[in-house]
Amino acid sequence: MPDTGITDILVSEDQIKEIVKRLGAEVTEHYRNTERELVVIGLLRGSFVFMADLVREIKLPMVMDFMTVSSYGDGTVSSGDVKIIMDLDTSIEGRDVLLVEDIVDTGNTFSKVIRMLQNRNPNSLKICTFLNKPECRTADVEIDFCGMDIPNEFVVGYGLDYAQLYRNLPYIGIKGQ
């Protein structure tokens, strides 16, 4: 087998399943009495694996859309710049929106995306992230549904990449230097 550069498994496939089930149940409970269908928005590319699993654990009517914003380029350090590469097709005005992210690190990307989406006047906007690195936070982001807090390590797999690689790993691994 080629050297993957993964030094440790941080979240196993079984743990991922448990976490996603719990999050799906929390989201379902939260929106149980909402009149109109939920709008679930994934930030590409990182969130696509998690979102595919999550939506199947949310037992509510929903529509889905995706958005691409730039953040890191291909490195491991945040540039601090966020711009929309691909916008939503769906109008979120007056809708209940759940924004899905793979990981919140500095919070820089997310806080800017949240501000952009708030300007479109949704009825509500909630945040769901699979992983959270609280030690790295520099921007203010309130997370409503959080899979797991992790230490300040660079992780890959389950949608997360290093230079676009590793997204297909079925677990979360720590990428050594």
Q: Which residues of this protein are in contact with ligand IMP, per CB under 6 A?
A: 46, 71-72, 78, 101-110, 154-156, 160
**In angstroms, what is the minimal distance from the CB of 40 to ligand IMP?**
16
| 38 or 103: CB nearest ligand IMP | 103
Which is catalytic among the residues 105, 140, 149, 161? 105
The entry of ligand IMP, Mg ion, none near residue 171 (CB within 5 to 8 angstroms by kind) is none
Binding site for Mg ion (CB under 5 A): 46
Active site residue 105: yes
**In angstroms, what is the minimal distance from the CB of 99 to Mg ion?**
12
What is the 3 state secondary structure string of the chain?
CCCCCEEEEEECHHHHHHHHHHHHHHHHHHCCCCCCCEEEEEEECCCHHHHHHHHCCCCCCEEEEEEEEECCCCCCCCCCCCEEEECCCCCCCCCEEEEEEEEECCCHHHHHHHHHHHCCCCCEEEEEEEEECHHHCCCCCCCCEEEEECCCCCEEECCECECCECCCCCCEEEECC
**In angstroms, what is the minimal distance from the CB of 29 to ligand IMP?**
26
> Which amino acids are annotated catalytic?
105
